């Protein structure tokens, strides 16, 4: 297999560093792009790229994992209210609808930041900015994610204390959570809970661990970005203030 050595290329007409190009195509962050290059997953003009410092020139054909990519000059940042029955992915092998099917008025390639499971509704961020997605998902930012959970039974003070302290959800003890009763119903309780991790089905597992299984689950905030009155299936642009907050600026 031939390899592509950036050192042999003319430096006339340079446009964009390869890792930035990959990030602006919405494939991965710049850091992850460097890993893709190191692993031989990136081609330029049908040759494997061996130089992470390569600058993409006008007319270059860039491929990642066998698929041609194009960097987007226009950055898009959306807040979407995910309904039940949609997959948090760009595509689904089983043909189920994805959250991207809900966005009908943009021609840029978007992808979701983080995940919500099939039956969970609420706030989801969509973007085409790989660097932004990386920063939002990075643990150092400690962005709390707030969920409104309708659970079976009564959430007693003892159960509240356990959730606040952290519970074992199967080989993993959660970090302290913020928990507040939103509404008490005859046989159910609606609870707002803010967590700082993103384990698979974490909130559902936490309530199950204290004996009050989740009936309905909705994410209502990510950090200071709130779902508000956004209708299910609807979306809006993030404000510049919200974008800066999510990026830790």
Compute the distance between CA of residue 102 and CA of residue 81 in angstroms, rounded to an integer: 10
Considering 117, 129, 168, 192, which one is annotated as catalytic? 117
The answer to whether 125 and 113 are in contact (CB under 8 A) is: yes
| Alpha-carbon Rg for the chain in angstroms | 21
In the block, tokens 């909130």 appear at 203
Residue 105 designated active-site:
no
Catalogue the active-site residues. Answer: 117
């Amino acid at each position: 297999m031939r390899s592509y050595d950036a050192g042999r290329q003319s430096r006339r007409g340079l446009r964009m560093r390869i890792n930035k190009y990959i990030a602006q195509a919405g494939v991965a962050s710049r850091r992850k792009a460097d890993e893709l290059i190191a692993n031989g997953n990136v081609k330029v003009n049908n040759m494997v790229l061996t130089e992470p410092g390569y600058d993409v020139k006008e007319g270059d054909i860039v491929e990642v994992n066998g698929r041609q990519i194009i960097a987007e000059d226009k950055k898009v940042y959306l807040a979407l209210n995910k309904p039940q029955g949609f997959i948090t992915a760009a595509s689904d092998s089983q043909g189920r609808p994805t959250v991207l099917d809900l966005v009908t008025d943009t021609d840029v390639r978007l992808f979701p930041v983080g995940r919500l499971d099939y039956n969970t509704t609420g706030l989801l961020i969509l973007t085409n900015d790989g660097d932004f997605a990386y920063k939002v998902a990075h643990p150092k930012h400690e962005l709390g994610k707030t969920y409104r959970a309708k659970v079976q039974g009564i959430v007693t003070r003892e159960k509240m204390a356990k959730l606040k302290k952290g519970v074992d959800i199967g080989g993993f003890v959660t970090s302290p959570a913020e928990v507040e009763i939103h509404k008490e119903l005859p046989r159910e309780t609606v609870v707002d809970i803010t967590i700082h991790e993103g384990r698979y089905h974490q909130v559902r597992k936490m309530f199950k661990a204290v004996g009050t299984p989740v009936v309905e689950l909705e994410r209502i905030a990510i950090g200071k970005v709130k779902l508000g009155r956004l209708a299910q299936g609807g979306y809006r642009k993030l404000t510049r203030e919200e974008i800066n907050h999510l990026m830790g600026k």
